Amino acid sequence: MFSPDDLPYFDPHTKRRVCFISGGNSGIGYYTVLHLYLHGYVVYLGGRNKNRVETAIQSLKQEALTRRKDPRQALGELYFLEIDLLNLSSVEKAMAEFKTREKTLHLLINNAGIMAVPFSLTKDNFEIQLQTNYISHFLITNRLLPLMLNPSLVQDPRIIYISSVGHWFTFFPFKMDYQFNYRPNIIFTWFRYGLAKTAGMQFINRVAKIHPQILCVSVHPGFVMNTNLFSHFTRLPFIGLLFWVFFQIFGYFFGISNEEGSYATLKCALSDELTPQKDNEKFFVSYGKEHQPSYLAKSSYYAANNWAWTVAELEKRGIKI
Ligand SMILES: NC(=O)c1ccc[n+]([C@@H]2O[C@H](COP(=O)([O-])OP(=O)(O)OC[C@H]3O[C@@H](n4cnc5c(N)ncnc54)[C@H](OP(=O)(O)O)[C@@H]3O)[C@@H](O)[C@H]2O)c1
């Protein structure tokens, strides 16, 4: 049985390893941060709400003290970094700030996400799920890559993209311009989610091709029904309660806890069994089991096209990659 306690520990005094994670203040991200902190990592939690992230950091520090197995093992460090994925200038600002604070990055976890929300456009004029789940992580990754590339300073760099089995919803070749802004939302919103997560996987696979020395993988954390990801449904007036009951029943049979939801990411982040040579472009699901992604997610052809589309779209908005 998988246990994060069996994964390697890095002493922050002798082997300082730095991680940036988007959205580490709740759900699966919270437990990912907890275990990285217990394993000695210096973790920057990128979040849009200072209060929520600082509260999470306090709670993580408390919890780590009670969970630490060996008090001789120093804990890592936790820092808040303000970033709103719905605003590309906030992403640029956060990345510039990160670079003033750190000169190296060992682990990048593109974790933050939203799921199946109604159609809307961000102020950068991207569909809201596309920008949160994909575009902003594309920008974050490109900005932080230079901090991962010097082998004399950074050993074993890793990038993990938190995708979903929901990437299968977009099972047909698509153009990145497709917005699926049709009714009923309850159906087409899943195409938008699937498109964003597929694009994210294609992009991370392309990073692996360009930088084969970096371990680049995608993860589906499992069905984790008690995170905030489902709050759009459970907060709907009247029918929200029905959704909540449905999610609880589904979770009872098929779900895992928020903490177990972090295990696949933790295995990809910490296990010394994974190497770029043998594991790049792989897709891992609950508990870090390997799984086949959709043929579109694997496609180098679509990955190259979608990369070019994204670079061009960012350039139209004054952002050079
Ligand atoms: N739960 C599941 O069953 C499941 C299944 C497959 C994949 N996933 C993926 O797992 C990842 C984590 O989800 P979760 O279940 O842990 O949900 P969650 O509790 O809602 O966590 C999502 C995190 O993303 C952050 N976030 C969302 N929009 C943001 C923005 N505009 N700027 C900055 N941060 C933002 C949230 O911050 P705020 O607190 O500020 O909103 C939160 O920290 C997501 O990518 C999701 O798609 C989850």
In angstroms, the Cα distances linking 316 to 34, 91, 143, 175 are: 39, 17, 18, 18
Residue 78 has pLDDT above 90, yes or no: yes
Position 297 scores a pLDDT of 98
CA of 80 to the centre of ligand 1 (A): 16
- Asked whether 167 lines ligand 1 (CB < 6 A), one says no
160 strand-pairing partners: 109, 217
- Asked whether 232 lines ligand 1 (CB < 6 A), one says no
Contacts of 273 (CB under 8 A, 6+ apart): none
How confident is the model over 105-135, as pLDDT tens digits? 999 999 999 999 999 999 999 999 999 999 9
Residue 253 has pLDDT above 90, yes or no: yes
Banded model confidence at residue 170, pLDDT cuts 50, 70, 90: very high
Position 116 scores a pLDDT of 93
CA of 81 to the centre of ligand 1 (A): 16
Q: How far is CA 153 from the centre of its chain?
A: 24
> Is the four-CA dihedral 268, 22, 107, 159 of positive or negative sign?
positive
Nearest ligand 1 atom to alpha carbon 197? 47
CB 24 within 8 A of CB 45: yes
Q: Residues of the chain with pLDDT > 90: what percent?
A: 98
Position 296 scores a pLDDT of 97
Question: Tokens representing 317?
Answer: 């908005």
Banded model confidence at residue 202, pLDDT cuts 50, 70, 90: very high
CB 175 within 8 A of CB 186: no
Question: How does strand 215-219 pair with strand 158-162?
Answer: parallel
Banded model confidence at residue 1, pLDDT cuts 50, 70, 90: confident
CA of 226 to the centre of ligand 1 (A): 12
Query: How far does the chain reach from its first CA to its final CA, in angstroms?
Result: 42
Q: Cα 49–55–61 angle (5° rounding)?
A: 135
Residue 229 has pLDDT above 90, yes or no: yes
To test the pocket of ligand 1, the residue of 137, 229, 233 to mutate (highest count of ligand atoms within 8 Å of its CB) is 229
CB 195 within 8 A of CB 174: yes
Question: Tokens representing 58?
Answer: 């306090």
Nearest ligand 1 atom to alpha carbon 133? 45
Mean pLDDT, the chain, integer: 97
Banded model confidence at residue 59, pLDDT cuts 50, 70, 90: very high
Taking every pair of Cα atoms in the chain, the longest distance, rounded to a whole number of angstroms, is: 58
CB 269 within 8 A of CB 43: no
Q: Where are the domains of the chain?
A: 4-221+262-316
CA distance 244 to 231: 9
Residue in 101, 120, 119, 125 with CA at minimum distance from that of residue 46: 101
- Asked whether 86 lines ligand 1 (CB < 6 A), one says yes
CA distance 145 to 123: 26
Residue in 309, 216, 206, 310 with CA at minimum distance from that of residue 269: 216
Position 115 scores a pLDDT of 97
Beta strand extents in the chain (DSSP E only) = 18-22, 42-47, 77-82, 107-110, 158-162, 215-219, 283-285, 289-291
Residue ranges of alpha helices (H) inside 122-175 are 128-130, 136-144
Question: Tokens representing 86?
Answer: 């719905």
Residue 155 has pLDDT above 90, yes or no: yes
Mean pLDDT of 268-280: 98
- Annotated catalytic residues are 163, 193, 197
Residue 85 has pLDDT above 90, yes or no: yes
- Asked whether 264 lines ligand 1 (CB < 6 A), one says no
Placement of tokens 């999470």 in the chain: 56
Position 167 scores a pLDDT of 97
- Asked whether 113 lines ligand 1 (CB < 6 A), one says yes
Mean pLDDT of 266-278: 98
To test the pocket of ligand 1, the residue of 20, 21, 26, 235 to mutate (highest count of ligand atoms within 8 Å of its CB) is 26
The length of the chain, given as a count of residues: 321
- Asked whether 26 lines ligand 1 (CB < 6 A), one says yes
How confident is the model over 14-31, as pLDDT tens digits? 999 999 999 999 999 999
Question: How does strand 283-285 pair with strand 289-291?
Answer: antiparallel
CA of 222 to the centre of ligand 1 (A): 13
Nearest ligand 1 atom to alpha carbon 163? 7
Yes or no: domain 4-221+262-316 corresponds to CATH 3.40.50.720: yes
Mean pLDDT of 85-107: 98
